[in-house]
A = this chain, B = another copy of it.
Amino acid sequence: MAPASTSVYPAKQHFVATAQKLGATSGVIFVRGGDTIVHPDSDTEYEFHQDSSFYYLSGVIEPGYAAAYDIASSTAILFAKHVSADEAVWVGVPASLDEQRAAYGFDQAHYTHDIESVISALRPERIFALAHHSTENLGSAASIDTERLLDAVHEARVFKDDHEIAIMRRANAISSAAHEVLMREAKQGMNEAELRGRFVGLALAQGCSYEAYGSIVARGRNAAVLHYTKNNMALADASAMVLVDAGGSLSCYASDITRTWPIGAAFSAECRAIYAVVLAMQKAVIEACAPHRQWQDMHLLACRVAAQGLVELGMLRGDLDDIMARHVVGYFMPHGIGHLIGIDTHDVGGYPRGTERINAPGLRYLRARREMLPRMAFTVEPGLYFVDTILAEARDTPAVAQHIDFDVVAKYRAVGGVRIEDNIIITETGCDNLTTCPKEIAEIESIRATAYQ
């Protein structure tokens, strides 16, 4: 499929950004695209997903390509897969080399069988490559550095340019609209699989290539399984909620959105109470996201808002600072507040080299720990869950257990779990929320009412 927009893909700009992060003034950057792989003992192909860094540097979604960039002369070179006449019967006649060069924004285009001669003609002293790409047939004269490019391209990918933000905004618009259709159509008695199918169908119909990740459609207690992917149970109980975590991938860019809403027309009292706390967590974090703040502080902010909310519900007790110091909320939100997002759903660059994870409940699984800067993209996805095994661990940990009223927990156990997840871009002054699906309680109940009219 051609690039999603009619504009030229900014391949060269992405090479320039990568070379800047690399800090090299000469040498050649060389990257290979992915190839199709088949299931063992079968001719069934895995659905092809392009190598993420190769996509960033080329814009090519087809298998069998490569690309290079001569740093000193700032020359971006595309190596296209050659399609024989016999193959063209099966896959179609490809665009010409020059058409491909122009569409992806390269200075030159050749076929992959000319990689060695084209690279050799550049006479590079050094070739920067990625350790997971083959460096065979690049010519023998240059020294090949497979150490430095990875961090450089990861760092370049962390900062989204206007082209990338436009695609991510569109991926979010498509996926937000699909979430809203589910909210509008789902009825008690439907199966989780029907919701997943409806979501995927809508995302594909609007131009997404695939789910950015395995969708989670979890009703009631299933939402307490964080990566629930069975998606095969009936929405039996109108007083329960269903959690839908799903996003389409558009032109290789992920969206990652979660909504949780009642199976019936309105939230039960228990569901509404927990939902309100999670919504407050999410809104506080989105309000706080701004340049130069630390991502891990957003996690702690969410925990503090949760602690306040759960104290008000009588589920937690004691001093807020003590609750925070003992990571009590980590037993209810065992995952991190969010992650970088881009070509990969869990995008690269969350832990710059030398940054360590924090070993504490909840924080342990935080997928990014760094200063927020303009053009970074994050998910903001607080949640609260009632996971039996984790609650048992809390009960067995006196310093934590003293802050929890387990009788109140029992009252809310049937809620299962709530998560609300949007995708944001850090701006010069704060952040821009790409996700447009309703999440306010009144909005949701108004939409859910239409399902039963």
| A residues lining the B interface (CB < 8 Å) | 1-2, 34, 39-47, 49, 51-53, 85, 88-93, 130, 132, 150, 191, 193-194, 196-207, 213-214, 222, 225-228, 230-232, 334, 344-346, 348, 387, 389-390
Contacts and interface: CB of A to CB of B under 8 A. Distances in A.
Contact of A92 (B34, B213, B228): B228
B39 A49 contact: yes
Contacts of A232: 1-2, 207
A197 B203 contact: yes
B194 A198 contact: no
Given A42-B344, A91-B227, A344-B43, A201 B207 contact: no
B44 A90 contact: no
20 contacts: A1-B232, A2-B232, A39-B51, A39-B52, A41-B52, A43-B344, A43-B346, A44-B345, A45-B214, A46-B46, A47-B214, A85-B389, A90-B225, A90-B227, A91-B225, A91-B227, A193-B206, A200-B200, A201-B202, A201-B204
A196 B207 CA distance: 10
Contacts of A90: 225-227
A44 B213 contact: yes
Given A41-B53, A197-B204, 15 more contacts: A39-B344, A41-B150, A44-B49, A44-B213, A46-B46, A46-B49, A89-B226, A90-B225, A92-B222, A193-B206, A194-B205, A197-B203, A197-B205, A197-B206, A201-B205
Given A92-B228, A205-B193, A225-B90, A41 B51 contact: yes
Identical chains in the assembly: 2
A334 B200 contact: no
Interface centre among A40, A53, A199, A228, by most chain B C-beta atoms within 10 angstroms, is A40
Interface centre among A41, A196, A226, A230, by most chain B C-beta atoms within 10 angstroms, is A41
A43 B132 CA distance: 14
A63 to B, nearest CB: 12
Question: Which 4 pairs show the lowest CB-CB distances between chains A and B?
Answer: A201-B201, A197-B205, A197-B204, A92-B225
Looking at chain A's contact residues, is the secondary structure mostly helix, strand, loop, or mixed? loop
A159 to B, nearest CB: 18
A194 to B, nearest CB: 4
Contacts of A51: 39-41
Given A85-B389, A89-B389, A193-B207, A130 B45 contact: no
Given A44-B49, A130-B41, A214-B47, A197 B193 contact: no
A63 B43 CA distance: 20
Nearest to A130: B41
B40 A34 contact: yes
A90 B334 CA distance: 10
Contacts of A387: 89
Contact of A201 (B42, B198, B230): B198
Given A194-B205, A202-B197, A52 B42 contact: yes
Interface centre among A93, A197, A346, by most chain B C-beta atoms within 10 angstroms, is A197
A93 B43 CA distance: 34
Nearest to A190: B205
Contacts of A227: 90-91
A423 B51 CA distance: 36
Contacts of A203: 197
Contacts of A42: 52, 344, 346, 348
Given A34-B40, A41-B132, A44-B49, A197 B200 contact: yes
Contacts of A132: 40-41
A39 to B, nearest CB: 6
Contacts of A200: 197, 200-201, 204
